[in-house]
Amino acid sequence: MAIALPTTTAYAITGNSQPGSTHSFVGLVVFYTIDGTGNKIPVSLSSGILLSPTVVLTAAHGCVTDSAIVCFDEGPILWSIQDDHLQVEGATSIYEGTAYPNPNYVINLAGKKGLPEFIHRDLALIILEDPVPSSVVDTYGQLPLAGFVDSLPLRTDVTLVGYGLQSSPRSTNPGTLMRNCAWASIVSGDFAWSDEFIRCSADPGQGKGGISLGDSGGPVLLGQTNIVVGVHSYAANPNLAGVSYHCRIDSAEVLNWIAEVSAND
């Protein structure tokens, strides 16, 4: 696959990161438009979670179009800047689909980051045109029960998985994309908008992992399981320290929405 993206600065899972080979259900998501000659012009990059052979869960804020490509290669996938665009090459397990943001998704970029009104229901589903065969992905992200996060104690161990950019390209060498994972912990279960987000440790200096651009839409997994307790939404600190925020999916409203959209597949 060769795709072009607008040039941007982006980073990936940070801290104690390892290749995410055991998380084959996490993929690279590229949203695209069609130009006047019928060519696909990708415009946004994020991560996603395969819930079934045809259903992918991701973050809504990267969903700038309703057309998406999802790739489940672990990587490395090479990227370079050509003519002010990002050229991505090397993906093979490619599946096309249509995106459906949560109907209650709202983002207010004029608001102050960290406040409840900054972003709401940062979730989207992608329904793939063709199922991902078990030879490519043979396990899936598992949905939690309603209210599951409320039962988790502070400092619960979690695994962050994402597909952000791993390195910047040099003038002669391309950069790389890889599926990576890192370990973190839930740092607070009771704050102003804890009914919608969980906060995780994001301090690589203390041996914990963090997230940044490109990892949005990837999962927060309970311990070493496939149970998804949150979807990467945003980090409060541009230096990747402090805490990160992850949209909960364990509300009855969200779980019902996932079931309804999936049933219409």
For residues 6 and 249, the model is more confident at 249
- The share of the chain scoring above pLDDT 70, in percent, equals 72
Q: What is the CATH number of the domain that holds 67?
A: 2.40.10.120
For residues 193 and 165, the model is more confident at 193
pLDDT category of residue 256 using cuts at 50, 70 and 90: very high
pLDDT score recorded for residue 135: 92
3-state secondary structure 101-151: ECCCCEECCCCCCCCHHHEECCCEEEEECCCCCCCCCCCCCECCCCCHHHH
Q: How many CB atoms lie within 10 A of CB 170?
A: 9
Mean pLDDT of the chain: 80
- Kindly give, in sequence order, each residue whose CB lies less than 8 Å from that of residue 238, ignoring residues fewer than 6 positions away: none
Amino acid at 28: L
- Give the end-to-end CA distance of the chain in Å, rounded to a whole number: 26
pLDDT score recorded for residue 3: 42
Q: What is the pLDDT of residues 108-141, one digit of tens each?
A: 766 555 555 678 899 999 999 999 999 999 999 9
For residues 33 and 87, the model is more confident at 33
pLDDT exceeds cutoff 60 at 103: yes
pLDDT (average), residues 203-228: 80
Gap between the Cα atoms of 53 and 68, Å rounded: 16
Q: What is the pLDDT of residues 20-64, one digit of tens each?
A: 567 999 998 988 888 788 777 777 788 999 999 999 999 999 888
Domain of residue 9, residue span: 2-263
Q: Is the distance from CB of 139 to CB of 162 less than 8 angstroms?
A: no
Q: What is the pLDDT of residues 50-60, one digit of tens each?
A: 999 999 999 99
Counting the structural domains of the chain, the total is 1
Its pTM stands at: 0.86
For residues 155 and 127, the model is more confident at 127
3-state secondary structure the chain: CEEEEECCCCCCCECCCEECCCCCCEEEEEEEEECCCCCEEEEEEEEEEEEECCEEEECHHHCCCCEEEEECCCCCEEEEEECCEEEEECCCCEEEEEEEECCCCEECCCCCCCCHHHEECCCEEEEECCCCCCCCCCCCCECCCCCHHHHCCCCCEEEEEECCECCCCCCCCCEEECCEEEEEEEEECCCCCCCCEEEEECCHHHCCCECCCCCCCCEEEECCCCEEEEEEEEECCCCCCCEEEEECCCCHHHHHHHHHHHHCC
Gap between the Cα atoms of 229 and 247, Å rounded: 8
Q: What is the pLDDT of residues 180-212, one digit of tens each?
A: 888 888 987 777 788 899 998 866 555 566 776
